[in-house]
Amino acid sequence: MVGQNEQASPRARLTGTVYLLYFVTAILAQILLTRGFTAVGQSVNLLADALYIAVTLLLFRMFLPVSRAISLIAALLSLAGCAVTIPAQFHLVGLQFSPLVFFGPFCILLGYLILRCIFLPHVMGILLILAGLAWGIYALAELPRTILLSIQGLGILAEALLMLWLLVKGIPTEQWWAQRAMIK
């Protein structure tokens, strides 16, 4: 039975590691792009997108015991955001709207899942909901630069805290299994 629990555990530290790799590659891509290394920057950005897709799928699996339906909707929103972002990065389509219209609701649903789960601190859920609302405002409103920077900071902080928690603290397998038993 122990082998089954370990095998089916949420792999929180793996999720945190992939999340960290996403952050590093996304930051590196922006540095390269702003310094004029367009081809390399776009390639690194594409790697960051692939890592975010992996994070999305890992989070989907992690939150299945909380709510299959909401976890699926959240994952689909994130994947839709990635599907819109990738072609726009290469100017293959003229993006008429911000991908944050997908990532904002993704963060809100992720926050909701955290509030409903027993294996992560609820304050993280509140931060992600606030970040999701902020991303929605950022995507839809024209605001002064200082407010936009504050919104970016909140979004990055909320996701970074989740990433660090998963990486450093992980999720107790027993709590994940207890959550899973609650839906049966």
* DSSP of 155-179: HHHHHHHHHHIIIII---HHHHHHH
pLDDT band per the 50, 70, 90 thresholds, residue 73? very high
Model confidence at 8, in pLDDT bands (50, 70, 90)? Answer: very low
pLDDT (0 to 100) of residue 160: 94
Question: Which tens digits make up the pLDDT trace of 22-65?
Answer: 999 999 999 999 999 999 999 999 999 999 999 999 999 999 99
Query: What are the angstrom distances between the C-alpha of 127 and each of 8, 46, 177?
Result: 28, 27, 25
The structure tokens listed for 93 are 């389509």
Q: Which pLDDT value is given to residue 3?
A: 43
Among 99, 94, 109, smallest CA distance to 79 is for 99
Q: Is the pLDDT of residue 2 over 70?
A: no
Q: What is the pLDDT of residue 7?
A: 38
pLDDT at 6: 43
Q: Distance (Å, rounded) from C-alpha 33 to C-alpha 47?
A: 14
pLDDT of res. 5 = 41
Query: pLDDT at residue 103 above 60?
Result: yes
Q: Is the pLDDT of residue 145 over 90?
A: no
Predicted pLDDT at 105:
96
Q: Indicate the average pLDDT of the chain.
A: 88
Q: What is the pLDDT of residues 152-174, one digit of tens each?
A: 888 889 999 999 999 999 888 88
Contact call for residues 99 and 56 (beta carbons, < 8 A) = no
pTM recorded for the entire structure: 0.87
Q: How many domains does the chain have?
A: 1
Q: Which domain holds residue 15?
A: 2-182
Instruction: Determine the Cα angle at 183 with ends 179 and 184, to 5°.
Output: 120
